[in-house]
Amino acid sequence: MQPELKNFAYSFNELDINVELIEEAMGYGRGQSPKPFPDMITYALDQCDLLCDIQGSLLVSNNFSLDKTGSIIVNGVTFYVGKKIALQLKNAEGGALFICTAGAGISEKSKELMAAGDLIEGYILDVIGSVTVEAAIDKIQESFENELINKGIKIANRFSPGYCGWALQEQKHFFALFPNNHCGIKLSDSCLMDPIKSVSGVIGFGTNVKKMAYECQMCELETCIYRKIRLAKGK
């Protein structure tokens, strides 16, 4: 059975991203950033509907298995995700590979501002770009979860190459399963995604899987803004 490709697109305003979310991603408590940050964030948010081109896709496959070496096999392609992720997916009966992007515009504007010496404005847009792509994949995951609930199926947490022992180089095999330059995303020689505000990964699903609270302590990616926030809060 061939995998099913599900495509999604959102406007920035559909994601309900507000000042408080950006403050938190910048390392402040919600509503606690000092002046003039709230006004600057508000101004940046007002630009984002024109700057973002938010797209994403799920490649849903029931041709899914897990082996004892810490690998998952999706539609005949083996991914060495490592034991941490494999343990989380041990009861999965299928897998949905995902890609999602906020588009190139917001990063280009951020770089333009920084090059002109507007470092804070550029940084705020960079943070908004990161929050945007995470909010978009959250929305896609929620849509997929609601679809499966009606069939008595649950989803596991989502995991991405570059995290928890899953090598970033496996993006090459990952993107080979999608149409070329799908959602406008392409890979560099070092397997980084372009546009940079993009994410990829897998969501396992099945009748006996569980979606857990994310355990940032098990992730080695110390540059993740969400890891810093959650560890600071003791989550």
42-79, pLDDT tens digit by residue? 999 999 999 999 999 999 999 999 987 889 999 999 99
Indicate whether 192 pLDDT > 80: yes
The encoded tokens of residue 87 equal: 């343990």
> Which band of pLDDT confidence, cut at 50, 70 and 90, is reported for residue 213?
low
Residue ranges per structural domain of the chain: 4-232
CB-count burial class (<10 Å; 0-12, 13-18, 19+) for 184: middle
pLDDT of residue 233: 43
Contact 135, 15 (CB under 8 A): yes
pLDDT of residue 69: 81
> Which band of pLDDT confidence, cut at 50, 70 and 90, is reported for residue 229?
very low
> Which band of pLDDT confidence, cut at 50, 70 and 90, is reported for residue 204?
very high
80-97, pLDDT tens digit by residue? 998 889 989 989 999 999
Instruction: Using alpha carbons, select from 67, 137, 144 the residue that is nearest to residue 102.
Output: 137
The model carries a pTM of 0.89
Residue 8 CB coordination number (10 Å) = 18
CATH architecture of 4-232: 3-Layer(aba) Sandwich (3.40)
CA distance 133 to 191: 18
